[in-house]
Structure 1
Amino acid sequence: MTDRRALHILGASVAALPLLTLLFVPIRTIDDAFISFRYARNLASGDGLVFNLGERVEAATSLSWTLLLAAAETIRLPIEGTALVLGVSFALLALREAYLLGRRLGASPAACLAAVALVAVHGRFWLVAANGLEGGLFAFLVVLVARKTVEEADARLIGALLGLLFLTRPESLLLLPLVLAYQALGAPGQDSESVRPSTESLRSGLAGVPLASGALRRAIPTAASALAIVGAATVWRLGYYGALLPNSVTAKSAFSAGPETLLENLLAGLSYAVRFEIAHAPFILGAAIALILRPKNRALWLSLFVVAAEIPAVLVNGGDWMPHYRLLIVFLPVLAGPLALGLSATFEDWDHPGRRRRRATWVLALLALSAVFMLSRSPWQPSPAPRVEYHPIANCYRFMATRLQPHLETSDIAASEAIGLFGWVLQDTTIHDPLGLASAHHARHGEYHGQWGKTDYRHLHETRPAVLVLHEGSVVTPGKIDRGTHGAWRSDYSGSLVSQPPACGPYRLIVYLDNRRAVHLRPALDGLDVEPLVVE
């Protein structure tokens, strides 16, 4: 069998690995995905890009993903299934780009396939790609930008891709100066040694001018193309929402909470990043090996800086509450390139008997052990059972929304801490968000709750929702509401603990009913194990 044929067979096997992996992991649509779903449905129905009709607040962080789902909703595709298929499909495309990036870095085909295969069998990566959010799309776009930049593709295309990245995750705007710097310094090949001014330019005292002018001719169209998209999106946001960034970004921002809270976030974000690195040790070790063995590979440095560009957002946000390191795991296809280069260099050492082979043996053993550790940490299922489920807490809110739906009147406002699935069920009801993602007032004036958002308890009371649903362990607690409203909430609302609702797992719900509307809403609690809420 020829090497070429063997690589084709191996490549086909790697392509099948993700689908096999998806059979053995518990796919969960995250609650926040339903926020984007509701925006998409309202837009497709002609009601605008809004969560509540008539309220222009941008709670969906990923504009490009929401618009993509709106297009699917317009042609009557089931939005939840479409989000899963699109997320997985984009993640599959990201694997292809990871292979091509590795080749551009100078890694061998076998090393690239090995690195991509490790991503392909990593359950957590696929759980993030399939959770209903933009993870798969972002993973594809970011590795595509890295690959196109390294291979010196059309500058306008690279700029357009950077603009799309901004529409997918606003913090990815930090990639623009990285790409421009790489282009401005010149990208003639793998090694920086090849970047030298001509003898003639040195003699004339204009060292590097030909290189700089040529590089700038590439950087300027990239910047113009990217900033055109960023500028257009920002002008539209200002005109439509009256804000520069999505309201969800403002709600989770710690800058308004003071320096002490910001420092706490920085430490929490640092912990998040370190835990990600430990949990994904083979990629970090592979990158380190590549840097040691190929330190002059400029494209390698670019790939690593692309990943590092997400760290400021991680530090400012204090990490993220969602599972599986979803802020950073989408960069695994980019990290697969450096891993492939490290493997390729190690394979070369293996071909030389003696000290180099012994070194390669230790390196490969360390990478193999770290890969086993990483894969063992994924939440595997013992048997193949392809199904999509929700977190027990999300099930709680879906259950209560279903109970409330027949009893809510048109003028009623329903509030809940988790607004995604709750608001998806109550499609025709105005949903108030006490964590501020869908409320501009809470986002700008509320008490900061770390990675979850902000709450202005007085504003919550002034809104007078007919019902407020929380769960035990909520960041918005009965005690905080009572103190924040100086007892006024307790006099206007009756609180109940709802125990053991079906499909709610070990959690208990906290349900507040407005005393003025309790008559028509209380039947929603009939037949449930209900006890009065005591606020200490």
Structure 2
Amino acid sequence: MNTMPRALPRAVNQPDYAFGNGRRNSWIIAGSVLLITILGYVTRWICDDALIFTRIVEQILAGNGPVYNLGERAEASTSTLWQWLLAFAGFVYGQSDTSALSWMLGLLLTGAGFGFAVSATIRLHGGRVAAMVPCGVLVLLGVRPVWQYATSGLETGLNTFWMALCWWLLVRFRGSTSAKPVVAAAFTMGLGPLVRPEQALVAAVFLVSLWLVTKPNWRVVLAAVAAAGALPVGYEIFRMGFYGILVPMPALTKNASESFWGRGFGYVGDFVDPYLLWLPLVLCTVLLAGVLRRHSTDRIVTLTPVVAGVLSLGYLLKVGGDYMHARMVLPIFFLLMLPVLVLPAAKNTRVIGTVLLAWAVLCASIGQFVPRDSRLVDDERGYYHAWTGKMYPTESADFTPKMTYLKDAARPDTLTYGDPRERVLTARLRADVPSRSMNIGVYLGTVGVLSPVDVGVVDFWGLANPIGARFEFPTVKPGHSKPLSNAWLLADYADPSAPVLSPGNFVLRADITADQVAAARHALSCGDLAEVQRSTREPLSPGRFWANLTGAVHRTGVTVPPDPFVAERTFCGGP
């Protein structure tokens, strides 16, 4: 039985009572924005990964370009658009430390995204004619991670806003015969890869749907394709020439091209189980079935975010999810809810809405993620709340007490690192390193923002290290599976002329020998590994840009054995 009343054709004059319903539905939009803003604010925070963006923005505003370290072109961020948006905000407000700005901007974009999304869904379902029930809105607001990642300092708010804007444009311009709206919508949808690389899939689905519901002529199609691809293609050419690879560095570190289905299902299960999400998902599927009993154009529009969400879910399962609880599922969750955020208030819809309201209140009150194995998936907000000792860790200064050893780390010409015995060790820095000193950072964001821009940070986990990112370690916990041993660290950054065992230089762990350091140093000077080094450290002349551009495909596929002796044989030859 169809539970959804048909919306009146848009051309039909609406009766007087429609204006009352329209006013009431405006309150639904305002209420959704207000609630997510309040809930996001009361759970505000930033995480260490957000401070990675802060460090890069500091380098941009200092005139060093979009790099993590001075003189080393490694793309450590996974959201190009968020990186540059923060840089713009920092420039406008005169703040190189954008850590506090990041959570505020994320919350603002999340609220605006909810506004655009709910408005579009009301328009899709003829909301000025019928009173609406906020079914999908209740589902989203019932899940705590939706509130928490409204801030976090990461790109989630931007992601929400971009998806909502794509949805609003698709609903608004369906059936349009004008070229300008179609081209403008295509340009916006085409930004997906710059929001996050995997959003290229979502962008493609929305662009195909835009073509299906507008049926533009070939001139408009060509203009729309050019508009959609202009910035992503242009930036990809820049990425290849500037960084020398096809993808951001974390994609190499996390082995994003491989398949980890079992871990992916576990990651999604860790999102669904704590909140009993199977119940609202089943009910929303029933509601969606009613929505689909419409004419063909609306059916295409309605299914667009669902198809995009399902395809994105398949990709997430394949790559094995993430180590942050819920983070990578939230955009998919948002997409799946878009067609049913609000629905006309038929009898059955009211009943289901009441059930969803009860579930949302219960879930928001007691629904909580408890990590099954912190070696695989973390409750990031809970972790940084405990680690910093702050109820609301919202700026880089909140992370400083844990990094007191960095006070001595800016000594000129010094490499500062540690060993498993929690000792802080030093070595003389290689003369040609452009940074005045170097630190090794296990917490990449924290160490980065606490170090001046002319002090380099060596990423222990390889997210910003061109060598560590390519290690042939199996991925167990994404982003935390490729430790950089001291042999490679010393080989790459320490002065080779310094006596290896001199107390005034550096101390080797028992399992790291001078021969391992020598083998790693030799490997770094040979073959593809030497070219990786040149692509990131040579001055960026036109010739270097062209060499990086033309060699990016091959360079992206280079892997490095973590054993220095095996690496030496691989890249230098010999027994």
TM-score using structure 1 length: 0.70
Match of 1:170 in 2: 197
Match of 1:401 in 2: 403
Match of 1:62 in 2: 79
Question: How far apart in 1 are the matches of 2:218 and 2:146?
Answer: 37
Question: How far apart in 2 are the matches of 1:83 and 1:283?
Answer: 31
Q: Deviation digits for residues 206-231 of structure 1, max 9, x if unmatched?
A: xxxxx6xx466654433222222221
Match of 1:271 in 2: 266
- The 1:115–1:41 alpha-carbon spacing in structure 2 relative to 1, beyond 3 Å, is same
Question: How far apart in 1 are the matches of 2:239 and 2:104?
Answer: 29
TM-superposed CA distance for 1:31, in Å, is: 0.5
Q: Deviation digits for residues 91-141 of structure 1, max 9, x if unmatched?
A: 011111111221243164643645435545654213112100111011110
The reply to whether residue 421 of structure 1 matches residue 450 of structure 2 is: no
Question: How far apart in 2 are the matches of 1:330 and 1:487?
Answer: 48
Match of 1:138 in 2: 159
Question: How far apart in 1 are the matches of 2:64 and 2:468?
Answer: 24
Q: Match of 1:94, as an amino acid?
A: G
Match of 1:127 in 2: 148
Match of 2:114 in 1: 95
- Residue 295 of structure 1, aligned match among 286, 292, 295: 292
Q: Match of 1:87, as an amino acid?
A: G
Match of 2:474 in 1: 448
Match of 2:458 in 1: 432
Question: How far apart in 2 are the matches of 1:299 and 1:112?
Answer: 20
TM-superposed CA distance for 1:403, in Å, is: 2.9
TM-superposed CA distance for 1:157, in Å, is: 1.7
Does the 8 Å CA contact 1:56/1:240 hold for their aligned counterparts?
yes
- The 1:94–1:254 alpha-carbon spacing in structure 2 relative to 1, beyond 3 Å, is closer
Match of 2:319 in 1: 317
RMSD: 3.5
Does the 8 Å CA contact 1:33/1:132 hold for their aligned counterparts?
yes
Q: Match of 2:329, as an amino acid?
A: L
Q: Secondary structure at the match of 2:132?
A: helix
Q: Equivalences for 1:220-369 in 2 at 5 Å?
A: 220-255=222-257, 262=259, 265-278=260-273, 279=275, 280-281=277-278, 284-296=281-293, 297-323=299-325, 325-340=326-341, 343-344=343-344, 347-348=345-346, 350=347, 363-369=352-358
Match of 1:201 in 2: none
- The 1:215–1:285 alpha-carbon spacing in structure 2 relative to 1, beyond 3 Å, is farther
Match of 2:501 in 1: none
- The 1:80–1:379 alpha-carbon spacing in structure 2 relative to 1, beyond 3 Å, is farther
Match of 1:372 in 2: 361
Question: How far apart in 2 are the matches of 1:54 and 1:13?
Answer: 49
Q: Secondary structure at the match of 1:32?
A: helix
The reply to whether residue 459 of structure 1 matches residue 459 of structure 2 is: no
TM-superposed CA distance for 1:73, in Å, is: 2.2
Greater Cα shift, 5-14 or 247-256: 5-14
Question: How far apart in 1 are the matches of 2:510 and 2:171?
Answer: 57
Question: How far apart in 2 are the matches of 1:124 and 1:147?
Answer: 24
Greater Cα shift, 361-370 or 51-60: 361-370
Question: How far apart in 2 are the matches of 1:275 and 1:99?
Answer: 27
Question: How far apart in 1 are the matches of 2:471 and 2:382?
Answer: 37
Q: Deviation digits for residues 216-255 of structure 1, max 9, x if unmatched?
A: 6654433222222221011100111111111111111254
Does the 8 Å CA contact 1:142/1:331 hold for their aligned counterparts?
no
Does the 8 Å CA contact 1:94/1:333 hold for their aligned counterparts?
no
Does the 8 Å CA contact 1:247/1:443 hold for their aligned counterparts?
yes
Does the 8 Å CA contact 1:145/1:158 hold for their aligned counterparts?
yes
Identical-pair percentage: 22
Question: How far apart in 1 are the matches of 2:399 and 2:27?
Answer: 47
Q: Deviation digits for residues 282-335 of structure 1, max 9, x if unmatched?
A: 652354123322335222211201222322441243111123x11121345444
TM-superposed CA distance for 1:482, in Å, is: 7.3
Match of 1:33 in 2: 50
Q: Match of 1:273, as an amino acid?
A: V
Q: Deviation digits for residues 171-219 of structure 1, max 9, x if unmatched?
A: 11112432343244x326xxxxxxxxxxxxxxxxxxxxxx6xx466654
Does the 8 Å CA contact 1:287/1:339 hold for their aligned counterparts?
yes
Greater Cα shift, 107-116 or 70-79: 107-116
- The 1:482–1:309 alpha-carbon spacing in structure 2 relative to 1, beyond 3 Å, is farther
TM-score using structure 2 length: 0.65
Match of 1:206 in 2: none
Number of equivalences: 424
The reply to whether residue 155 of structure 1 matches residue 156 of structure 2 is: no
- Residue 49 of structure 1, aligned match among 66, 73, 83: 66
TM-superposed CA distance for 1:167, in Å, is: 0.9
Q: Deviation digits for residues 363-390 of structure 1, max 9, x if unmatched?
A: 345433432343235569xxxxxx9994
